[in-house]
Chains A and B, each alone.
Chain A
């Protein structure tokens, strides 16, 4: 078995998701190479080489791979894929954008969002918003897979830098797509997907202004701030804060749901959290059925009190 992991980048740096994907690759077994593709990504390549379990880091550093657009990246992967039995990426917006394109170019299926490895060809993945778990087997010669990072604990960093780093000199053409701009939310808080604590607000927050009530608690706990789809749909907060089937999937140590009723599609994004706290004025809200600790009451009274007590 030989596995190629497409590294996730965040503003040019190696994103935390990659260490989880390497863990999934270890569960499959075999040699693990990591592909770092982008522009000015030497530091990311060095970070990838420190991940335990990685045999080799391959670096495609060229302007055509900047911003990891799907067209050039999938064309690059097509060139490299013949050396491998598996190509893995995290189920990030980059992985989800690029890997199905690669799979179709290689005339194979893609397995999305795996959460467990049964064997080198058999995997578990959630379907129907996580309300069922499917076990699927792929008989394709090349397995193209996206990995739900919450399903695999990140590999540690060896620090030895034992993996070799080599340049990939494949440069593809791309006249079809070009980057125009990126507007990334600037935040000192941890990234939603990797945060140990997440505090999310729902429709019960009333408006976007009230989300500030979560700030103080998030600051004290080092938490990321999320939102339910209802809060996003109502225009309170941007979509990149959405936790749920159609947003981010999170599984922190502590998840605090504030003013969130607990629709199926929200639960799909957070029910694997270790400890769930629900704060809601409706004691019949479905969120209480999955919460370890529920507190019924007015969030506008509870939040300031919580902030001062922790």
Chain B
């Protein structure tokens, strides 16, 4: 089956963010960017499905500015066969991204779509579920294990308090959680080869999707700083402070 993998360009997870002085947004000028960690897991899962002979072709797709092609090249180096770049400089919210991806699903007819469960910039955790709604497909979110069983997809999900396994009809939408796999690193020869793999360019207008959202970002602030406290010298002192100063014991 064909597997579609969506990836997002986000701030590198090691970077400490700064809020802009005018509080309009987070300042991303000259900040190191990378593929969203959950999307790396999504790409890895697709590659493993291909190695198992379940997937026959992997198509990577992203919605974002021109620079997001870097992340598509990374996906191609990791094992995707071709890529689709939907270029926009607008702030595309989850619903708009899901609408764009739904158009791609319509064109490509994949047997499975794998996405990260959330992007570490907006922390929304929405796009996969929304894509499932718009394509009228079942969803296996927060997956820690994915197995094709005949015409069904068994997805083990990380839920509050444990694990839940559901069986979904195919095609299906899967979003990845941390323990699904451990992504590999791209090898240099594969990075070179990825430069020659095909990449289609599209715009939201080509797909007939309006990116503008009814949600406006009014303000971005730094959270209240938590002040560091004191160091205690012993367990006795700690217990004393917790009992008599903090009064939490």
Question: Chain A interface (Cβ within 8 Å of chain B)?
Answer: 10, 67, 69-71, 74, 92-94, 96-105, 107-113, 122, 126-140, 175-185, 191, 193, 197, 221, 229, 232-233, 238-240, 242, 245-246, 248, 253-254, 264-265, 271, 274-277, 283, 288-296, 302, 305-306, 309-310
By beta carbon, the residue of chain B nearest A176 is B138
Residues of chain A with a CB closer than 8 A to B166's CB: 69, 177-180
Q: Is the CB of B158 within 8 A of A240?
A: yes
Residues of chain B with a CB closer than 8 A to A292's CB: 229-230, 246
By beta carbon, the residue of chain A nearest B241 is A293
By beta carbon, the residue of chain B nearest A238 is B162
By beta carbon, the residue of chain A nearest B168 is A177
Q: Is the CB of A93 within 8 A of B157?
A: yes
Q: Is the CB of A182 within 8 A of B164?
A: yes
C-alpha gap A120/B103 in the complex (Å): 33
CB-contact partner of B165 in A92, A180, A193, under 8 A: A180
Supply 13 further A-B pairs (C-beta < 8 A) apart from A108-B95, A240-B160, A292-B230: A109-B93, A135-B221, A136-B216, A138-B214, A139-B215, A176-B138, A177-B166, A185-B161, A193-B160, A232-B179, A245-B123, A288-B231, A310-B239
C-alpha gap A182/B166 in the complex (Å): 9
Question: Chain B interface (Cβ within 8 Å of chain A)?
Answer: 11, 13, 16-17, 19, 26, 93-95, 98, 118, 120-134, 137-139, 141-142, 144, 154, 157-169, 177-179, 213-223, 226, 228-232, 234-236, 238-239, 241-242, 246, 248-249
C-alpha gap A291/B154 in the complex (Å): 42
A139-B215, A302-B235 as given contacts; A104 in contact with B95, CB under 8 Å = yes
A-B contact pairs, 27 of them (CB 8 A): A10-B160, A93-B141, A93-B158, A96-B142, A99-B129, A103-B126, A104-B95, A110-B124, A110-B126, A112-B124, A112-B126, A129-B123, A131-B222, A132-B220, A136-B215, A139-B215, A140-B214, A178-B167, A184-B162, A197-B248, A239-B177, A239-B178, A265-B13, A275-B242, A293-B238, A293-B242, A296-B231
Q: Is the CB of A71 within 8 A of B139?
A: yes
Residues of chain B with a CB closer than 8 A to A179's CB: 164-167
Q: Is the CB of B120 within 8 A of A129?
A: yes
By beta carbon, the residue of chain B nearest A309 is B239
Q: Is the CB of B230 within 8 A of A294?
A: yes
Question: Which of A74, A100, A233, A283 has the most C-beta atoms of chain B within 10 angstroms of its own C-beta?
Answer: A100
Q: Is the CB of A277 within 8 A of B242?
A: yes
Residues of chain B with a CB closer than 8 A to A140's CB: 214-215
Q: How far does the Cβ of B178 sit from chain A's closest Cβ, in whole Å?
A: 6
Q: How far does the Cβ of A140 sit from chain B's closest Cβ, in whole Å?
A: 5
Q: How far does the Cβ of A196 sit from chain B's closest Cβ, in whole Å?
A: 9
Q: How far does the Cβ of A234 sit from chain B's closest Cβ, in whole Å?
A: 12
By beta carbon, the residue of chain B nearest A111 is B215
A112-B123, A135-B218 as given contacts; A105 in contact with B133, CB under 8 Å = yes
A132-B17, A132-B222, A295-B232 as given contacts; A97 in contact with B141, CB under 8 Å = yes
Residues of chain A with a CB closer than 8 A to B229's CB: 276, 291-294
By beta carbon, the residue of chain A nearest B23 is A135
CB-contact partner of B160 in A92, A122, A274, under 8 A: A92
Q: Is the CB of A137 within 8 A of B161?
A: no
By beta carbon, the residue of chain A nearest B234 is A295
A109-B215, A271-B226 as given contacts; A104 in contact with B120, CB under 8 Å = no
CB-contact partner of A100 in B26, B122, B125, B215, under 8 A: B125
Q: Is the CB of B123 within 8 A of A177?
A: no
Q: How far does the Cβ of A47 sit from chain B's closest Cβ, in whole Å?
A: 18
Q: Is the CB of A127 within 8 A of B122?
A: yes
Q: Is the CB of B141 within 8 A of A134?
A: no
Q: Is the CB of B158 within 8 A of A126?
A: no
Q: Is the CB of B126 within 8 A of A191?
A: no
Residues of chain A with a CB closer than 8 A to B248's CB: 197, 253-254, 274-275
Q: How far does the Cβ of B246 sit from chain A's closest Cβ, in whole Å?
A: 5
By beta carbon, the residue of chain B nearest A290 is B226
Q: Is the CB of B167 within 8 A of A180?
A: yes
CB-contact partner of B235 in A10, A240, A309, under 8 A: A309
Q: Is the CB of B144 within 8 A of A101?
A: no
By beta carbon, the residue of chain B nearest A306 is B235
Q: Is the CB of A133 within 8 A of B133?
A: no
Q: Which 5 A-B pairs have the closest CB atoms?
A: A292-B229, A100-B129, A104-B130, A104-B133, A176-B138
C-alpha gap A10/B144 in the complex (Å): 21
A97-B139, A103-B95, A275-B248 as given contacts; A122 in contact with B236, CB under 8 Å = no
C-alpha gap A102/B132 in the complex (Å): 10
Q: How far does the Cβ of B134 sit from chain A's closest Cβ, in whole Å?
A: 5
